[in-house]
Amino acid sequence: MTAPSSIDPAHFLHEQLAQASPDLLRQMLTTFIDTLMSAEADAVCGADYGARSSERINVRNGYRPREFDTRAGTLEVA
């Protein structure tokens, strides 16, 4: 599962509020954290996920699920 490379905050918030589940904050944090981690991996590699580039300096070796403890509870992030 890959995180999107960018988020349209207004559209994302509108979608989440329309669904309004009890775990809204946890879902939003998970998406935000996955996106940040994906952007950091892109920066380290020197290329977007799946992109071939002569400037690429590293490779991604997939994702592993992990737990991230927050005030909103424990989140499962990739």
SS3 category, 40: helix
The set of residues, in sequence order, having a beta carbon less than 8 Å from that of 72 and lying 6+ positions away, is 25, 26, 29
At 21 the pLDDT is 67
Residue 5 has pLDDT above 70, yes or no: no
Question: 61-75: per-residue pLDDT in tens?
Answer: 766 788 888 877 888
Place of tokens 């300096």: 57
Residue type, 67: E
Confidence band (pLDDT; 50, 70, 90) for 20?
Answer: low
Q: What's the predicted TM-score (pTM) here?
A: 0.58
User: Helix 24-45 vs helix 9-19: angle between axes, to the nearest 10 degrees?
Assistant: 150
**Which of 60, 77, 63, 78 has its CA nearest to residue 26?**
77
